[in-house]
A and B are shown apart, each in its own frame.
Chain A
Amino acid sequence: MANVLEQLLNALALAGLLFLVSAGLSLVFGILRVVNFAHGVFYMLGAYLGFTAVALSGWFWPALIVVPPVVGTVGALLESSTLRFIYRRPPIYQLLLTFGLALILEESIRVLYGPTAKGVDPPALLQGAVNLGGLLYPRYRLFLVVLSCTVAIAVWLFLSRTRAGLVIRAVAQNSEMADCLGADVARVRTLVFGAACALAGLGGVAAAPMTTAYLGMGISVIVEAFVVVVIGGLGSIVGSMAGSLIVGAAQTWGAFYLPETAMVIVYAVMGAVLVFRPWGLFGEEE
Chain B
Amino acid sequence: MKRREFLKLSATGAVGASMLTIPPRSWAQGPIKIGMPAALSGSNAQYGIQAKRAAELFAKDVKGKGILGRPVEFVFEDTGGDPATAVRKAQKLVEKDGVKFLTGVALSSEALAVSAKCPEWKVIFMSTINGAGSLTTKSFHRYFFRVNTSGPMGARAVSLYLAEAPMKRFFALGSDYAWGRDSVASFTSQITAVKKEVVGTDFSPVGTKDFASYIAKIRQSKAEGVYLVLAGQDATIYLRQAHQFGLNREVKPIMEILELENMKAVGDPMVGAIGSSRYPFTLDTPKNREFVKRFHELHGMYPDMFDGETYEGLEWLAQVITKVGTDDVEKVIDAWEESTYEGLEGQFLMRKCDHQAVQPGFAVECVKDPKYPHPVPKILATYPGDKVTPKCRTEEFS
A-side residues, CB < 8 A to B, are 3, 6-7, 10, 13-14, 107, 110, 115-119, 122, 127-129, 136-138, 140-141, 207, 209-212, 214-217, 220-221, 251-253, 255-256, 259, 263
**Cβ–Cβ contact A212 & B233, under 8 A:** yes
**Given known A-B contacts A116-B46, A117-B233, A119-B267, A256 and B210 have beta carbons under 8 A apart:** no
Do the beta carbons of A255 and B213 come within 8 Å of each other?
A: yes
Picked from A6, A211, A215, the residue with its CB within 8 Å of the CB of B216 is A6
Q: In the bound complex, how far is the Cα of B244 from the Cα of A248, in angstroms?
A: 20
A220 surroundings in chain B (CB, below 8 A): 207, 209
Q: With an 8 A cutoff between CB atoms, is B132 at the interface?
A: no
8 A-B pairs whose Cβ atoms sit less than 8 Å apart in the complex: A6-B216, A13-B212, A110-B45, A115-B45, A117-B232, A119-B267, A214-B236, A252-B212
CB distance A10 to B213 under 8 Å?
A: yes
Kindly provide the distance from the CB of B324 to the nearest chain A CB, expressed in whole angstroms.
36
Would A252 and B42 count as touching, CB distance under 8 A? no
Q: Which residue of chain B has its CB nearest to the CB of A118?
A: B265
- Judged by a CB distance under 8 angstroms, whether B217 is at the interface is yes
Contact bitstring B204-230, A, C-beta under 8 A = 1, else 0:
110101101110110010000000000
Name the one of A212, A253, A255 contacting B214, with C-beta atoms under 8 angstroms: A255
Nearest-neighbour CB distance to chain A for B185, whole angstroms, equals 16
Q: Are B216 and A3 in contact (CB under 8 A)?
A: yes
Instruction: Report the contact-size class of chain B (Cβ under 8 Å from the partner).
Output: 20 to 34
A122 surroundings in chain B (CB, below 8 A): 244
Q: Which residues of A contact B177 (CB under 8 A)?
A: none
Question: Which B residues lie within 8 Å of A140 (CB)?
Answer: 244
Specify the main secondary structure of chain A where it touches its partner.
helix
Contact in complex: A210, B244 (CB < 8 Å): yes
A116 touches B237 (CB 8 A): no
* Contact status of A211 and B237, CB under 8 A, knowing A14-B210, A129-B244, A129-B245: yes
A105–chain B nearest beta-carbon distance, Å: 13
Q: Mark B330-348, 1 if CB is under 8 A from A, else 0.
A: 0000000000000000000
- Which of A13, A209, A215 is most buried by chain B, counting CB atoms within 10 A of its CB? A215
Choose from B217, B233, B264, B267 the contact partner of A214 (Cβ within 8 Å): B233
Residues of chain B with a CB closer than 8 A to A118's CB:
265
- State which of A13, A211, A216, A252 has its C-beta within 8 Å of the C-beta of B43: A216
Given A215-B42, A215-B43, A255-B213, verify A119-B236 contact (CB < 8 Å): yes
* Residues on the A chain within 8 Å of B49, using CB: 115
Kindly identify, within residues 52 to 86 of chain B, every residue whose CB is under 8 Å from any CB belonging to chain A. none
Nearest to B207 among chain A residues (CB) is A220
* A-B interface, 9 closest residue pairs, ranked by CB to CB distance from nearest: A216-B43, A255-B213, A138-B244, A115-B45, A256-B213, A10-B212, A117-B233, A129-B246, A115-B46
Q: Contact at B245–A136, with CB atoms within 8 Å? A: yes
Contact of B210 among A3, A10, A110, A128 (CB under 8 A): A10
| Cβ-defined contact, B43 with A214, below 8 A | yes
Task: Report B267-296 CB contacts with A as 1/0, cut-off 8 Å.
Answer: 100000000000000000000000000000
Shortest Cβ distance from B112 into chain A, in angstroms?
22
B315 touches A (CB below 8 Å): no
Q: For residue A207, which residues in chain B have a CB less than 8 angstroms away from its CB?
A: 209
Per the bound structure, the CA–CA distance linking A216 and B44 in Å amounts to 9
Q: Is the CB of A10 within 8 A of B216?
A: yes
Complex CA gap A129/B248 in Å reads 12
B209–A217 contact, CB under 8 A? Answer: yes
User: Is the CB of B202 closer than 8 A to any CB of chain A?
Assistant: yes
Q: Tell me which residues across on chain B come within 8 A of A129, comparing CB atoms.
A: 244-246
Of all chain A residues, the one with the shortest Cβ separation from B212 is A10
Cα separation A133 to B265 with both chains bound (whole Å): 32
Whole-angstrom distance between the alpha carbons of A167 and B212 in the complex?
41
User: Which one of B45, B237, B246 contacts A212 once the chains associate, using CB atoms below 8 Å?
Assistant: B237
Q: How far is the CB of A99 from chain B (nearest CB, A)?
A: 15
Contact status A216-B236, CB under 8 Å: no
Q: How distant is the Cα of A98 from the Cα of B207 in the complex, in angstroms?
A: 23
Is the beta-carbon distance between B42 and A117 smaller than 8 angstroms? Answer: no
- Contact (Cβ within 8 A) A216 B216: no
Which of A6, A128, A137, A212 contacts B236, CB < 8 Å?
A212
Q: Within 8 Å of chain A (Cβ to Cβ): is B261?
A: yes
Residues 78 to 103 of chain B near chain A (Cβ within 8 Å): none
Apart from A215-B42, A216-B42, A216-B207, what 11 extra A-B contacts exist at CB < 8 Å? A107-B41, A117-B233, A119-B267, A129-B244, A129-B245, A141-B212, A211-B210, A212-B265, A215-B41, A216-B43, A259-B202
Separation in Å of the B106 CB from the closest CB of chain A? 11
Partner of B213, one of A115, A209, A221, A252: A252
**Residues of chain B contacted by A10 (CB below 8 angstroms):** 210, 212-213, 216
- Of B41, B245, B261, the residue contacting A116 (CB under 8 A) is B261
CA distance A6 to B236 in the complex (A): 22
B266 interfacial by beta-carbon distance below 8 Å: yes
| A214 cross-chain contacts in B, Cβ below 8 A | 43, 233, 236-237
Contact of A3 among B212, B220, B264 (CB under 8 A): B220
User: Is B240 an interface residue when CB atoms closer than 8 A count as contact?
Assistant: yes
Q: How far is the CB of B122 from chain A (nearest CB, A)?
A: 33
Cα A256 to Cα B219 in complex, Å, equals 12
**Are B210 and A117 touching (Cβ within 8 A)?**
no
Chain A residues with CB under 8 A of B220? 3
Which of chain B's residues have a CB closer than 8 A to the CB of A252? 210, 212-213
What 0/1 pattern do residues 240 to 269 of B give for CB contact below 8 A with A? Answer: 110011100000000000000100111100
Residues from chain A with a CB closer than 8 A to the CB of B43 are: 214-216
Q: Is the CB of B265 within 8 A of A116?
A: yes
Question: Which chain A residue has the least Cβ–Cβ distance from B242?
Answer: A138
Report B-chain residues with C-beta under 8 Å of the C-beta of A138: 241, 244-246
Interface-central residue, A6, A117, A119, by most chain B CB under 10 Å: A117
A215 touches B45 (CB 8 A): yes
Determine if A119 and B216 form an interchain contact, defined as CB atoms under 8 angstroms apart. no
B205 touches A137 (CB 8 A): no
**A114 → chain B, closest Cβ, in Å?**
8
**Complex: chain B residue closest to A207, CB-CB:** B209
